Structure 1
């Protein structure tokens, strides 16, 4: 996968763009003013592997809560702000690592300049977030609808405002709920600019629809070398968003992270409960963040061969099964001991992986 060359910026201590790994982020779904719940959710996201988290800042109380939240978590926080420049300034005072605010939407030039100056002084990047559902009226009239070209023009307008103020510490997103429209918008933008890109499909919906849309949209862009940080948007737990993001990155060869389980879909030859075994293996290995491929197969005849690229695996038969590594059989055990023996073998060798 050859990534397009983009500028490198930092959100806190996390590099975005350039030769940096594609980072994973999510957004809290708590009321930011409820600091206890927000801190808990961010810690859950940290544990799942999120590297950046965004919080909604609808009012001054939420902005002032960021300071307390930031002291209790370890990953960079981005303040998500619409229209109100005072919320951006307060969020910066509270120590955020980044802003998501469109400069063209916050009013007079002096207001924009105040935010830009504060961001400069604190070395805080600004994400320009274009959404197909909220484009400026004149741009919609020009193009007739929220086309990819209209989305890129909206982004260009915001970029021009910041560049005129000598500010280029920028990253950009161009999101729509329409997957093909989103993909084309990023393609068009990438031909014009080298700013780092935050990629995702907005309002993708609940699983499984949201997962499919996110995987196709983000996956295609990454395979074309477009994208420096990703967020999977789901009407679901933000932890689930992070899990799916890593699956996408792993599938396209962009990141290696945590346990990948490969398992057969089962057929008439299967004589063990593969679904239950997969659930048990996933639960037992969920805290492992080192790259690890584990196979759970339902046929001792084909299992090790079909899953020979797995670091470890099991294949079940009637009453017994085998534990294998890299396609080689390690031992034969009772069916009831298969999962336990697999986990034991993995933990015994974990430091050597």
Structure 2
């Protein structure tokens, strides 16, 4: 799939835009001032495949903690700054890889210039983050509500502020909690600017609801070649954000390798505990790094035939099941041993 051409920007050891892979981000929900807890969570996220992590920096104590956090992690850290330009300057000094700010809300022209100059000296990109709740009063008055046109105009206004100070290492996010507004905003932005786009549905909700909204919004854009990095915003454990993000990339063809797990819906032909078996297999595969496709199918109708493209799988019967590889049956196993035998076969692959 051909992606929209965007400027290539470097954040730590990760590139966004251009020909770089689409990366997955998250944000810590620990108190940034608590270095031990924050580092622990970041390392957990790293192990799940998080490419870039963001931390809230609400005060100087949090900005000071940044220097101890970055020493202990291996992925780029983005400082999330609102209103106080001094927090941005301190975070830059303490080793962040990028900033998330809106230049228009950190103060006077000289303060914006100070941040832009410091970031440029350290080669630290700035992500301009616009959302439906952050629109300038005059833009909101002009459009009447947070329309895609309003959101994009706000983003480009903030870009222009940084451009005035000869700053060009910029990433843009234009988020909304409304999926269609989000989609249309990014589509418009992809036409009007060549800066890398950070995709996300803001305030998307709980893990269940937020996963659906994020998958629809982000997936729609990725399938049109729009987007350079993604963040799944969920009211829940940040680890879930990485799991969902990776699956979206796999589903849209942006990520190859790792486990591809498929299972069929239950129906009247099912004579084994398909839901329980599929759930257990999926859980056990979470720590598997093999590049294979695994299928859990409820009956012989949807078994070796329909799932013959799977590297290995189960086809259920009455109180038992067949284990097959590439559509070829290799053994028959009692239901209570199906998961165990399947995992043994996977381990030996």
Match of 2:93 in 1: 93
Match of 1:280 in 2: 280
- Contact 2:264 / 2:302 at 8 angstroms: preserved in 1? no
- Contact 2:207 / 2:240 at 8 angstroms: preserved in 1? no
Query: What CA distance in whole angstroms lies between the structure 2 residues aligned with 1:289 and 1:191?
Result: 38
Deviation at 1:300, TM superposition (A): 2.5
Deviation at 1:288, TM superposition (A): 2.3
Match of 1:79 in 2: 79
Q: Deviations over 1:235-267 (max 9, x none)?
A: 111100111111111111111253222111111
| Greater Cα offset, 41-50 or 299-308 | 299-308
Q: TM (normalized to structure 2)? A: 0.97
Query: Please, which runs of 5 or more residues in structure 2 have no aligned partner?
Result: none
- Contact 1:76 / 1:96 at 8 angstroms: preserved in 2? yes
- Pairwise mapping of residues 1-353 of structure 1 onto structure 2 (< 5 A)? 1-349=1-349
Residues 302 and 182 of structure 1: CA distance in aligned 2, closer, same or farther (over 3 Å): closer
- Contact 2:99 / 2:125 at 8 angstroms: preserved in 1? yes
Query: What CA distance in whole angstroms lies between the structure 1 residues aligned with 2:68 and 2:43?
Result: 14
- Contact 2:85 / 2:111 at 8 angstroms: preserved in 1? yes
**Over aligned residue pairs, what C-alpha RMSD do you find?**
1.2
Deviation at 1:334, TM superposition (A): 2.4
- Contact 2:233 / 2:241 at 8 angstroms: preserved in 1? yes
- Contact 2:64 / 2:94 at 8 angstroms: preserved in 1? yes
- Contact 2:261 / 2:294 at 8 angstroms: preserved in 1? yes
Q: Deviations over 1:268-318 (max 9, x none)?
A: 111111122122212222112443321011113431111112121111212
Q: Deviations over 1:149-178 (max 9, x none)?
A: 111111111111111111110000000101
Q: How many residues matched?
A: 349
Query: What CA distance in whole angstroms lies between the structure 1 residues aligned with 2:302 and 2:213?
Result: 33
Query: What CA distance in whole angstroms lies between the structure 1 residues aligned with 2:257 and 2:245?
Result: 11
Deviation at 1:335, TM superposition (A): 2.2
Q: Deviations over 1:87-133 (max 9, x none)?
A: 01111111111100111111111111111111111111100000111
Q: Deviations over 1:190-240 (max 9, x none)?
A: 111110000010001113221111011001111111100000111111100
- Contact 1:246 / 1:257 at 8 angstroms: preserved in 2? no
- Contact 2:149 / 2:185 at 8 angstroms: preserved in 1? yes
Matched residue SS, 1:303: coil
Q: TM (normalized to structure 1)? A: 0.96
| Greater Cα offset, 95-104 or 298-307 | 298-307
Residues 290 and 55 of structure 1: CA distance in aligned 2, closer, same or farther (over 3 Å): farther
- Contact 1:9 / 1:15 at 8 angstroms: preserved in 2? yes
Query: What CA distance in whole angstroms lies between the structure 1 residues aligned with 2:259 and 2:30?
Result: 28
